[in-house]
Structure 1
Amino acid sequence: MMTANEIRDSFKKFFESKGHTIVPSAPMVIKDDPTLMFTNAGMNQWKDIILGTREPEPRRRADTQKCLRVSGKHNDLEEVGHDTYHHTMFEMLGNWSFGDYFKEGAIDYAWEYLVDVLKLNPADLYVTVFEGSEEEGLTRDDEAASYWAKHVPADHIINGNKHDNFWEMGDTGPCGPCSEIHLDSRTPEEKAKVPGRELVNKDDPQVIEIWNIVFMQYERKANGSLVPLPMHVIDTGMGFERLVRAMQGKHSNYDTDVFQPIIKEEEAITGMKYGEKEETDVAMRVCADHLRAVAFSIADGQLPSNAKAGYVIRRILRRAVRYAYTFLGQKEGFLYKLIPVLTREMGEAFPELKAQHDLILHVIKEEEDSFLRTLEKGINMLNSAMDELKKQGKTELDGVQAFRLFDTYGFPLDLTELICRENGFTVAADEFDAEMQKQKERARNAAAVENSDWVILREGEQQFVGYDFTEYECHILRYRKVTQKKNTYFE
């Protein structure tokens, strides 16, 4: 059985043999693109090339890209830990062609790698093609379907709608139709009862997408229109964790050697056994997943904070801390103890983990210690609030209390929503947003500076004499009153 590291290397070697330049992963945290905080797909670093503003040489490239999906259009946070295949941070194996091969070449390479190199059973593979969109004026992708017909029978080629088979990076930017490759990893008995084609894109945990081949043909403008790109681009993304699961014959990504070393370390620290209790399993999966997201973000230069990308990382970390506290019995820092095993397992493929090991460990420990100081009080307050709601026969926590949890105890809104959801309650998010807006207004008002008019005492010019004298007689020429945060002083 191939290990995760061997599978990653095999992908790179295959595409290198096909004339692709192997490039390193771009940072997961994006600093120079106002439309994105994090790399959420392998193509983000090639956006300028795709739009025609940067030279495309070399025209064939391949790599494994660190990605994070926890905000915006692509957001898998709520599913993480509760199912077997969603993640916050994940690796995306990808190959690109910038004005070189297009649909036929990309489809042939994908099939050759999966079937001839990795030896996946062709009978278990299904593909989707874009069915077209009348509102966009786009027809079915018959070209891609004709190329797939060389490899799979007609009943393994499935039409997909705009949501599943028209890939867009965001509200604007490069986009185009795509073909997904789905793997049916159910038992023979299950396959005999229901054909795999009926379960594609139906959220069946054993019939999942493993590779998406995007045919970049358009750019989405701010007004919603589509215009042709300067050149056709192939952008593929294969979920590394899902591929490893398929190759290792597992039914969960967390049962592979991508995550098992971390989970075994969790078992050693907590004394609990993975696989015996559902809530414990979910907590261990959440911690293993979130650990990677936070560690790689710090390695790429993004520290947890209260603003923008930094706050996203803090939210993820605090979500994991709460799972460890509630379900794994960890009342002290826990996640930082897992950093050594993460570095050992992934440090060769991503040397930034080794280079930033001490910083990552220190930052996570500090963040855990800080949140744990208020976590118990916040949970007690929330439990009391939910008990009162039960007595009143209500099911929604008001936004004022949710905001107090945020403002006083450091609970991100999604963490409060998570805990409430576990107990059958919802949160009035609109009221929370209103309270947040009030606080911002108060902060702006407090920071406002009021200056009175200058009071002129005498005419004259300023002259610096400090180079020649340590004491010197002088006169005040003018002054004014300044009021800031209710404090008054003169300048």
Structure 2
Amino acid sequence: MESRVIRQTFLDFFKEKNHTIVPSAPMVVKDDPTLMFINAGMNPFKDLFLGNQPVKHARIADTQKCLRVSGKHNDLEEVGVDTYHHTLFEMLGNWSFGDYFKAEAIDWAWELLTDRYKLDKDRLYVTVFGGDQGDGLPADDEARAQWQKHMADDRILAADKKDNFWEMGETGPCGPCSEIHVDLRDDDERAKVDGRELVNMDHPQVIEVWNLVFMEFNRMADSSLVPLPNKHIDTGMGFERLAMALQGVKSNYDTDIFTPLLDAIAKASGKSYPGDDSQEAVAFRVIADHVRAVAFSIADGQLPSNTGAGYVIRRILRRAVRYGSSFLGMNEPFIHTLVDVLDDQMSGTFPEIKAQKGLIQQVIEQEEQSFLRTLASGMEKLAMATKQMKAGDELAGDLVFELYDTFGFPVDLTALIASEQELKVDEAGFSALLEAQKNRSREAGKITADDWQVVEAHEGVTEFVGYDHTSAEVKLLRHREVTA
């Protein structure tokens, strides 16, 4: 099943279930100081869950573009090295705001996966929340009982708070969840090891495909849980993982979501995608993944820069440029040409790519040119540093870190160049400096938000008039303190 059909089947299914289909919200967040980018499908609806905005549609469904590059949700350095982490991804989701709850969410998930998508029922497992004494929460027997209508109880696994209690951050809407996992291993492998033993064990072929969140609490600033005004449903299904399962391949990068980009990279570089763990293969995957994240960020209004969200985008793009230069021999700008492939693939669902295509290509090309010059300067600096060194000498950790931080050289690249001259690298010194930088970054990016203090109750819709007026009479409805 082609990816565009997979996406449309999801939306059509929930339209049949009386859901309003809404477009993806912009990935770049401008009105929430606790977020730089949308990192989960529920982010745009947070105020609806909290009761801070009126609900226009009790049931909606969408495909939301998300970006995860740091924090508890992802690590940029893993992307491309493995075959299942991504920076940008699509999250297919269905939502209920005070309407249906666990029974319908579970029944419809099972119907879509097994009746419409025709996934093998014998390859599916689910997890349910096993309770948590610290929060005083019991096991989710209601969800277990509903799943027992569809599968044997030994396929329903209890999991702890870490895996089966979803929270968007330190504070905010949260609740127990039920994850659906699919076992994509060959029959021989399945006969050797029961799939239930590999659920939530980071096995690349036994993966979570859908998370059903039963949103019923608000985590307060003091860590206590307060029931939400209404119970809601928040589900998220990874589009790329679903495509892997339905297209019968072993990697997200082998789906038709990524193969057009990989083919374009192969054509530009004159190399073939190896599909293995080699540095060359990693370079293909890094570039294919990162151009999507950068293009959508620019389309949504976030240009690369040296601070905040702009620095995140610059860092992603520079990582792609560096991998192309180091391992594919691409020392001239080319990543901007891949935007044509994205336009062909995704503009039908995300028209902003076509609308901003010229800007996206221009910005990426300029960034490529600039960073390629920086890489060349780094090579010169390394050559100067090693000029007087002899076999067995060690490159100082502070130099290795400067090459990494200023010139984009990962420690393995510096070590590779050093080994060619029979030099050693002070990896311990580098690691200490890197950890110190990460700690500084964590502290600088740490944001705490107190709970909202309601000044005056208000049921209507608030209106933003700043595009047309520079001043207006307003009434303060609520406030909270945000500390960065």
Q: Which range, TM-score by smaller chain?
A: 0.7 to 0.9
Amino acid at match of 1:298: I
Aligned to 1:234, what secondary structure does the other structure show?
A: strand
Task: Name the CA distance, whole Å, in 1 between partners of 2:148 and 2:73.
Answer: 31
1:421-436 map, 5 Å: 425=427, 426-429=430-433, 433=437
Q: Which residue of structure 2 lines up, in the alignment, with residue 487 of structure 1?
A: none
Kindly indicate whether the alpha-carbon contact (under 8 Å) linking 1:52 and 1:230 is maintained by their aligned counterparts in 2: yes
Counterpart amino acid of 2:361?
Answer: L
Give 1:172 deviation, angstroms: 1.1
Rounded Cα–Cα distance in structure 2 between residues aligned with 1:380 and 1:231: 62
Q: Which moved more, 1:132-141 or 1:280-289?
A: 132-141
Match of residue 234 from structure 1: 233
- What are the superposed Cα offsets for residues 387-425 of structure 1, whole Å, 9 maximum, x if unpaired? 97994568x823x76257535x4x3xxx64574688983
CA distance in 2, matches of 1:168, 1:421: 40
Indicate if the aligned counterparts of 2:404 and 2:411 stay in contact, CA closer than 8 A. no
Letter in 1 for 2:431: V
- 1:17-56 equivalences under 5 Å are 17-56=16-55
Match of 1:272 in 2: 271
Aligned to 1:103: 102
Cα shift readout 1:82-103 (whole Å, capped 9, x = no counterpart) = 1121100000000000001111
Q: Which residue of 1 aligns with 2:324?
A: 324
**Equivalence for 2:473:** none
Q: List per-residue Cα deviations over 1:210-249 (Å, max 9, x = no partner).
A: 0001111111112211111111110000000010111110
The corresponding residue for 1:80 is 79
CA deviation after TM superposition for structure 1 residue 61, in Å: 0.3
Task: Tell me, yes or no, if the aligned pair for 1:126 and 1:182 is still in contact at 8 Å.
Answer: yes
**Closer, same or farther in 2 for the Cα pair 1:429/1:172, shift >3 Å?**
farther
Which position in structure 1 is the counterpart of 2:256? 257
Letter in 2 for 1:233: H
Question: What do residues 48-71 of structure 1 show as CA deviations (whole Å, max 9, x unaligned)?
Answer: 100111112211000000000002
Residues 402 and 432, structure 1, Cα contact 8 Å, conserved in 2: no
Equivalence for 1:333: 333
Structure 2 unaligned spans of 5+? 420-424, 445-484
Task: Please tell me the residue identity of whatever aligns with 1:368.
Answer: E
In 1, Cα distance between equivalents of 2:180 and 2:264: 34
Percent identity over the alignment is 57
Find the residue that maps to 1:70 and give its secondary structure.
Answer: coil
Q: Does the 8 Å CA contact 1:420/1:427 hold for their aligned counterparts?
A: no
CA gap 1:421/1:191 in 2 versus in 1, 3 angstroms: farther
1:181/1:401 CA distance change after superposition, 3 Å:
same
Aligned partner of 1:457 in structure 2 is: none
1:275 to partner: Cα distance = 1.9
Offset of residue 131 of structure 1? 1.2
Which residue number corresponds to residue 187 of structure 1?
Answer: 186
Letter paired with 1:132: G
Question: What RMSD over aligned residues (CA atoms) do the two structures have, in Å?
Answer: 2.5
What is residue 484 of structure 1 aligned with on the other side?
none
**What secondary structure sits across from 1:301 in the alignment?**
coil
Which residue is equivalent to 2:159?
Answer: 160
Distance change >3 Å, CA 229–CA 434, structure 1 → 2: closer
Corresponding residue for 1:126? 125
- Local SS of the residue matching 2:283: helix
Number of residues of Structure 1 aligned to a counterpart in Structure 2: 430
Per chain length, whose mean CA-contact separation is higher, i.e. which structure has more relative contact order (CA < 8 Å, sep 6+)?
2
CA contact (8 A) 1:8 1:240 kept: yes
> Aligned partners of 1:166 and 1:380: how far apart in 2?
51
Corresponding residue for residue 355 of structure 2? 355
Q: TM-score, normalising length from structure 2?
A: 0.84
Task: Name the counterpart of 2:60.
Answer: 61
Q: Which protein is bigger by CA-based radius of gyration?
A: 1
1:364 corresponds to: 364
TM-score normalised per structure 1: 0.83
Q: 1:193 to 1:421 in 2, by over 3 A?
A: farther
Q: Cα 1:421–1:405, aligned 2, differ >3 Å: closer, same or farther?
A: closer
